[in-house]
Amino acid sequence: MNATVILLGPPGSGKGTQAERLRDGSGFALVATGDLLREARAAGSELGHRAAEFMDRGVLVPDELIIAMVAEAVAALDSKPVVLDGVPRTVPQAVELDALVRAHARELTAAILIDVPDDEVVRRIQGRRQGRTDDTPATARERLRVYHRETEPLVRHFQERGLLRRVDGAQDPDSVEHEVRAALA
C-alpha cells in the first residue's frame, strides 16, 4: 500500500523544510495545507476568501474546509508515497484523514513529531518574517497557543496507535533530516 507520512510540530519547527526534503530527495508527493491555502488566497478563490480571515488571526481554518481541500489533493495523487505537512491539526481532521487514507487504499505509515521548545519557536518566527501576513509576533504567539490547545492532543492520538516517531527539531536541518529518515527506515 502507498505510504502516507504525517509531519507534526509547532509553527516554525521546520516541518515545511523537512517535507520538501522528502519530496526532493525521496520521491514523496507533498501536500502542504498552509501552501494550498496561500495559493487559494492568491488565486482569489472562494476557499481563499473564507480561509484568509482565520489565517490572519493565527487561528485554524474550520475543519470542513480543510477536509474538503485535503480530500481533493489526496484524490489527485497517483500511487506515490505522500508526506502531509500541516494536516491533521485537530482530532476531527485526524479521524477524517484516517477514512480518506483507507478510501484510497493508502496506509498511514508514521506521524513524525518535530519537537521544538516554545522559546526556540518564538525566536525562529521572529527571525523569519518572510512576508507572510501571519508572521507578526502577535499572530505567531497565537499560532503557538493554538498548536498546544488543538494540535498537541494528536501526539497522544498517534502514540496510542503506535504511529508516533519523535525527532529533535532543535538541531540544524541536516541533522533533523537524518533523524526523520531514520524514523522512516
143 is annotated as an active-site residue:
yes
57 is annotated as an active-site residue:
no
123 CB neighbour count, 10 Å cutoff = 13
Quote the DSSP letter at residue 150: I
Q: Is 14 in the site for ligand ADP (CB under 6 A)?
A: no
Helix, strand or coil, per DSSP, at residue 30: strand
Interface region with ligand ADP, contact rule CB under 6 A, candidates 53-61, 73-81, 152-160, 177-185: 53-61
Interface region with ligand ADP, contact rule CB under 6 A, candidates 18-26, 82-90, 152-160, 177-185: 82-90
Place of cell 526523520: 180
| Interatomic CA distance for residues 20 and 86, integer angstroms | 13
The residue annotated as part of the active site, out of 132, 141, 166, 181, is 132
89 is annotated as an active-site residue:
yes
Residue type, 41: R
Binding string to ligand ADP for residues 115 to 154, with x set by CB under 6 A, is what? -------------------x--------x-----------
Task: Please choose, from the candidates 132, 136, 67, the residue with its C-alpha nearest in 3D space to the C-alpha of residue 103.
Answer: 67
ω into 62 cis (within 30 of 0): no
Q: Is 89 in the site for ligand ADP (CB under 6 A)?
A: yes
In order, the DSSP letters of 81-120 are -EEEES---SHHHHHHHHHHHHHTTEEEEEEEEEE--HHH
Q: Is 4 in the site for ligand ADP (CB under 6 A)?
A: no
Which residues contribute to the site for ligand ADP (CB under 6 A)?
11-12, 33-34, 37, 54-55, 58, 60-61, 66, 86-87, 89, 93, 134, 143
Residues designated catalytic: 15, 89, 128, 132, 143
